[in-house]
């Protein structure tokens, strides 16, 4: 079950070869100096890796989320930061494919799918994280335009993106008052505040985005007024699959590295993998990795089949990201003191894993989502 075809395996192998041949050159230095290289995303785009599920008529490969997951896992095995970049620049593509006008699709999708343009998703605010429906950024209609004012936090690709999907309030309080807009990266009165200094994902820029009376035409609104929250939640359902796939990549990289180390490292005259305390830890790491992969692939397969997948996507996100935190931590433990040093990549993988339990809806919120689905399945509410 979920075995890739030759074509799917070849796509994943191409991603693996590119990442191992390109990303590893500056990986450690970029993590330490918090350097993001947009040209790497562009190079991935030239291979088709940035637009895997985007329809062919709009410049993508027209494949599914299953293929997307295979590729993201391979990227994350080398760099979780660039796996996130590919996933985040994919969010506007998901949104435009499902909700965009023909003109919007023609304007933005080919460049995003090709990696020539970077996309960003701007939902979170200083006082609006998990409670996304309480956002305060406003979009006021002024003739044929909207004027957007507010501040967005935690924006991946902030200051780098060519287009931002911005959620702003056009109506009253709550989810029904939110609309979605396309804001070009060079828009007047769009500026950028603090770049976050992060524990992990340090090669992925996270920047405050400030809209101080940004004027966009009404044609920049995505869909009707008031559907912005639906747009955002639909995108996040997809994003939970891609974050899950990236987490699986971290699990697999950590498992392989720790197993290799435990086979080569000898204590008391024997490889440490033969000690039950280490061998059992590696066995648990393997179980967590494979369980997470299967659940992520199930969510992707359901999405590709156009079947309901929101609850499974939430389960996949929780399972895979919790596993990534556990597996990377155990990898550090297997290496002992060496694992705590920057000589080995396991400490970076552990730092990268933590934020995956937070982004695309915290794992606590995911458990609420799952519980609500269970309630509905039993005919309550």
Q: What are phi and psi of 101, to 5 degrees?
A: -75, 165
Contacts of 153 (CB under 8 A, 6+ apart): 124, 125, 126, 129, 208
Q: In whole angstroms, what is the distance from residue 229 CA to residue 226 CA?
A: 7
Cα 99 from chain centroid? 20
- Give the HSE-up count for residue 48: Cα atoms under 13 Å, Cβ half-sphere: 18
Active-site pick, 73, 208, 347, 360: 360
Q: How far from 235 is each of 121, 140, 156, 177, 326, CA to CA, in Å?
A: 9, 24, 15, 18, 27
360 flagged as catalytic: yes
Instruction: Report the distance separating Cα 49 and Cα 14, nearest Å.
Output: 9
Catalytically active residues are 360
């Amino acid at each position: 079950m979920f075995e890739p075809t030759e074509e799917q395996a070849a796509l994943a192998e191409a991603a693996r070869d590119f990442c191992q041949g390109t990303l590893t050159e500056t990986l450690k230095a970029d993590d330490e100096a918090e350097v993001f290289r947009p040209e790497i995303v562009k190079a991935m785009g030239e291979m088709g890796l940035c637009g895997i599920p985007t329809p062919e008529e709009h410049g993508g490969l027209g494949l599914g989320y299953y293929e997307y997951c295979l590729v993201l896992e391979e990227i994350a095995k080398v760099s979780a930061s660039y796996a996130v970049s590919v996933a985040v620049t994919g969010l506007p593509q998901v949104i435009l494919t499902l909700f965009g006008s023909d003109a919007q699709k023609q304007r933005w999708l080919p460049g995003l799918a090709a990696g020539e343009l970077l996309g960003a998703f701007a939902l979170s605010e200083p006082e609006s994280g998990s409670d996304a429906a309480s956002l305060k950024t406003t979009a006021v209609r002024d003739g044929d335009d909207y004027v957007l004012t507010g501040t967005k936090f935690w924006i991946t690709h902030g200051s780098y993106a060519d287009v931002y999907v911005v959620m702003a309030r056009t109506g009253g309080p709550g989810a029904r008052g939110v609309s979605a807009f396309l804001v070009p990266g060079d828009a007047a009165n769009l500026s950028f505040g603090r770049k976050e200094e992060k524990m992990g994902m340090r090669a992925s820029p996270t920047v405050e985005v400030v809209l101080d009376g940004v004027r966009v035409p009404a044609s920049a609104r995505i869909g009707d007024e008031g559907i912005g929250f639906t747009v955002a939640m639909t995108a996040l359902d997809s994003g939970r699959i891609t974050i899950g796939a990236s987490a699986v990549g971290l699990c697999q990289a950590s498992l392989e590295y720790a197993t290799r180390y435990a086979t080569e490292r000898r204590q008391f005259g024997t490889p440490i993998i033969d000690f039950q305390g280490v061998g059992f830890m590696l066995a648990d790491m393997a179980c967590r990795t494979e369980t997470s992969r299967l659940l992520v692939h199930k969510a992707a397969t359901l999405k590709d089949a156009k079947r309901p997948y929101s609850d499974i996507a939430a389960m996949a996100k929780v399972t895979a990201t919790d596993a990534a935190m556990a597996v990377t931590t155990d990898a550090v433990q297997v290496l002992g003191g060496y694992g705590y040093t920057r000589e080995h990549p396991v400490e970076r993988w552990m730092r990268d894993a933590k934020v995956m339990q937070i982004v695309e809806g915290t794992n606590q919120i995911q458990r609420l989502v799952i519980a609500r689905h269970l309630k509905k399945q039993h005919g309550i509410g």
